[in-house]
Structure 1
C-alpha cells in the first residue's frame, strides 16, 4: 500500500522535480540541437584532430612529441569552443598525423573531425570540403642556396626542382614547366622534410613552397644562413581549417572562434610568438614580418579563396 503524502510533502517533491528538470533541460536541449560533427563528438566523447608532423612553424612536434605551432594555437582555441558547445569540459582529444595526400579523404570518411594546418583554400577543394575563416595568407616562392644563381622562376630552366606532392605549388610548377617550355625535372616529395632534404643534399637546385613554410624549413637546416627565399610569388593563397562538406554548425563554430581571435589581438600575439620570436627546435627567429594581406585579414576575417580580393 502506497503511503499517503501530505500536501507539504507533495509540494516539496513537485518542487524538487521541477528543479531537476530545469537542471537537465539545457543539456537535453543541447544534445537535441547538435548536428553533424558536433553531435558525433558529443556522442563519442572524443574529438579527432588532424595535424602535420613537420610544418614549422604551423604544425609540428616539440621534443616531447606533442603538436605545437601557429596553427595548433588556433586549434586549441577551437577545441575550447567545442568543449563549451557540446558541454563536455573533459572532452578527450586525439591528435592524428595527416599528409597532403590523405587529409581530405580522412576528413570525408570520418577518421578526423577537422584540421587546421597549412591547407590552401581553393575552388577544387571547396567541392569536397568546407573551409573556415582563413588563418594565414602566403605567397608561393622558392628556396635555394645563396650561390645557386637562381633569383626567380625564369632561372629554373633545365634545373631540378623539388615540390610537395599534392600541393598547389606542384600544380603551379608543372603548369609553368609546360607553358614556358622550361625543361625542369620536377621531384614530388612526400612531405616538407623530404623536400628540404632533397634540396640540402644537392639533389635539387631549388624548392618551391609557401613562403612562410620555406622560412620554417630554412630554420631547421644545419646552415640556414646559406639559403635564401627568393622569386616573385606565383600565387597568393589562404590557409583555412577544413570541416566536412555541408556541416554548417561546425563551420560556424570555427568561423566565430577564428574571427574573435583575429580581431581581439590574440591572433597578433600568436603571430609574433611563432614568426617574430625564437621557436623550437633551434630557438631561431624566423623574422617573418606580418604582411599587409595578413593585417587586412586580422582586421576583416573572411573565408575568401582569393586573399587579394579585398
Structure 2
C-alpha cells in the first residue's frame, strides 16, 4: 500500500490506493480485459471494472474508494486536453480572441487527430475554443490555444509540465497539448494523477460548465462562421454526471476521466486502457452509483 498526500481545495486527508502489479508504461492491452478489484471493500460488493488502470476518488473527503494500477505510467491520449484547458485559463480571459491559422488546421489533419473543424481566418473567443477542445476533442483547437498562450506550442507544453508538478502530479509528463502520438515518444500519466487534475479542473466554473455540456452551438458573427459540437462523452445524461474527458489512441486504448455530484459529494474517477469504447461509459456510470453508496 502506498500513501501520498495531495493538497486540493475540495479534498482533505490522505489519498491511499493499492499500487497493483507493474505494467510497462507503453504496453498496449492484449487479449480479453479482466475485471479490476477494489482496495476498499470485498470484491463481491464492487462493480466489475475493466482495463489496465482505474481510480475513484471521493473529492469531498479525499478518500480513495477504488484503485488498481493507479500509479502505473501509461499514455492517456486526449485526457491531455484537460490540462490544456486548465493551463489556458490560468492566463487567458474567456473573452480573449484567438485567430485560427492554416497551421492549426493542418496539425489536426496531418496528425490524424479528432477535429473541431475550425476554419483558418476565423477569430473565436477562448470560451468557445474550450468547447471545441473538450466536446469534439479538437486537436486543431488544442494547437491554436497552445500556440497563442505558450507563446508557441513548446512553451505551452513546458507550462503544462510545470503545472503538473505544482499540482503534485509527479508521475505525469506531457509532450504536446492534445495527446496525439509523437515521433519521439508519447507522454504519460497515471489514473491517480489524472484524478487530481480532474478535481482542480472542476474548481473552475467555466470548465465545469464546458465538460458537462452535451451539445454546443456557436452562432456566426463577423469574426467567425457557425459551429456545432457534440460531446464525445456518452456518460452525460446520467444523474449528476459532470463529464470531464474522453480519449483514445492505439497505445493508450480507450480512456475516460469522469465525475459526478451525488448528495453534496463530488466523485472523480479515471479509467485507462479499456479495450471496448462503450464499456467505459457503462463502467463509469456504475462506479458513480456505487461510490455514492460508500461511507
TM-score (norm 2): 0.24
Larger radius of gyration: 1
TM-score (norm 1): 0.23
Structure (1/2) with the larger helix percentage: 1
